[in-house]
Amino acid sequence: MIRSTKTPSRHLKPGRPTRIFHARMYFALQALAGAAWWLGITTLPALREATLGSLNLVLVSAFDIPLFVIASAVVALNVRRAVWVVVPWTVLVAVCMVVYATVTTEAGLGALLMIAAAVASVIAGALMFLGHVPSERLIKGPFSFRSSHTRVRSRLLLRTTIQLMVFWGVFLLVLPAIINSFEDRWNLALKFPILVIVAGFALLAFSSVLGVWSARAIANFGSGTPLPAEMANHLVVRGPYAFVRNPMAIAGIGQGVAIGLFIGSWMVVVYALAGSLLWNWLIRPHEEADLKERFGAEYEDYAERVSCWVPRLDRS
């Protein structure tokens, strides 16, 4: 059987006009959502209390309606300069709402919604002006892709262990603890059933085993570590990499979700899922481009045989 050499359509990236159009659609939706929110808080006291607290409605509306709602609508009409109005304003409001909610314990939901709006506005604003998100700036310096200089297995395993401990400590202990504290302070905590907590513990155990297995596979079969600055010297296709191309990422996502379930924090679960989406969109394309450049046809054949996230049932 002759294997097609054409690039699958799922790998084709949308062009600059399409990405700008997507950004305009986001700002249109943001304008509509902002208008709906203002209508809602004038008619629903509970919504106003949850998202605005004791803030003066007239004072806030005098700034927010023109600088957020109207400015978002203007950007949607392809007036790109308005991005310099709505994006800084959205980020400023997000920061102020976080401070306000933390100090007063009011409007926690409003702070959370504005954080989401700020992140999305920054991304959409970059698409409007650049036609892409400059994610390549995230892989500079210590995070740039480089092969490991050492191939001594004992050193690689030691470095891998240290990297895992630092990663787990920061992303699975420190950050979730901070997020959970905000969740409690903002009165957004929900009580999880005991079965969900038990499921979180089981998922944490499974994901941690998968993470260790994946990291050891990189050291043993690839002569490298999970850190981008000390990547594998050989393409790793054994161990968990025989089933999916990103077992380390799957393990990290699973661990993050598991921590959220285990400590009963829905915001930590959202943090893990949102982080996985951003990694998949912003970082993974650069990582795969680097692998293709270093390993060429070997990686292309591997990528065609092995799925990115979900193991294929028919692997013949």
Describe the crossing of helices 16-43 and 45-52 by its angle, rounded to 10 degrees.
120
Residues 144, 289 share a domain: yes
Of 133, 149, 176, at which residue does a domain stop? 133
- CA–CA distance, 48 with 310 (Å, rounded to integer): 42
Tell me, yes or no, whether 267 and 172 share the same domain: yes
Residue that terminates a domain, selected from 78, 107, 133: 133
Per-residue pLDDT tens over the stretch 245-275 = 999 999 999 999 999 999 999 999 999 999 9
CA gap 98, 229 in Å, rounded: 34
Q: What percent of the chain has pLDDT over 90?
A: 83
Rounded CA gap, 47 and 53, in Å?
Answer: 9
> 313: burial class by Cβ within 10 Å (0-12, 13-18, 19+)?
exposed
pLDDT value at 9 more than 50? no
For the cut 50, the answer to whether the pLDDT of residue 124 exceeds it is yes
Question: 83 and 148 share a domain?
Answer: no
Instruction: Give the per-residue pLDDT at 125.
Output: 96
**Residue-range definition of the domain harbouring residue 292:** 139-305
pLDDT of 48: 96
- Boundary residue ending a domain (73, 98, 133): 133
55/84 same-domain check: yes
> How confident is the model over 52-73, as a mean pLDDT?
96
Q: Which residues contact 280 (CB under 8 A, 6 or more apart)?
A: 249
- What's the CA gap between 95 and 57, in Å, rounded? 18
pTM metric for this prediction: 0.88
| Higher per-residue confidence, 11 vs 13 | 13
The answer to whether residues 253 and 185 belong to one domain is yes
Mean pLDDT along residues 184-189: 96
What's residue 150's pLDDT? 86
User: Considering only CA atoms, which of 128, 211, 104, 113 is closest in space to residue 163?
Assistant: 211
Judgement on whether residues 187 and 277 belong to the same structural domain of the protein: yes
Same domain? 84 vs 181:
no
Q: What is the CATH number of the domain that holds 194?
A: 1.20.120.1630
Q: Compute the distance between CA of residue 265 and CA of residue 183 in angstroms, rounded to an integer.
A: 8
Q: How far apart are CA 255 and CA 95, in angstroms?
A: 28
Rounded Cα gap, residues 159 and 299, in angstroms: 25
Q: What's the pLDDT band for 7 if we cut at 50, 70, 90?
A: very low
Burial letters 213-222, b for 16+ CB under 10 A, else e: ebbbbbbebb
Co-location of 84 and 179 in the same domain: no
Assess whether 147 and 128 both reside in one domain: no
The answer as to whether 152 is a domain residue is: yes
Number of neighbours of residue 316 by Cβ within 10 angstroms = 4
The set of long-range contacts for 16-19, using a CB threshold of 8 Å and a minimum separation of 24, is: 16/131, 16/132, 19/127, 19/131, 19/132
Query: Angle CA(280)–CA(281)–CA(282) in degrees, nearest 5?
Result: 100
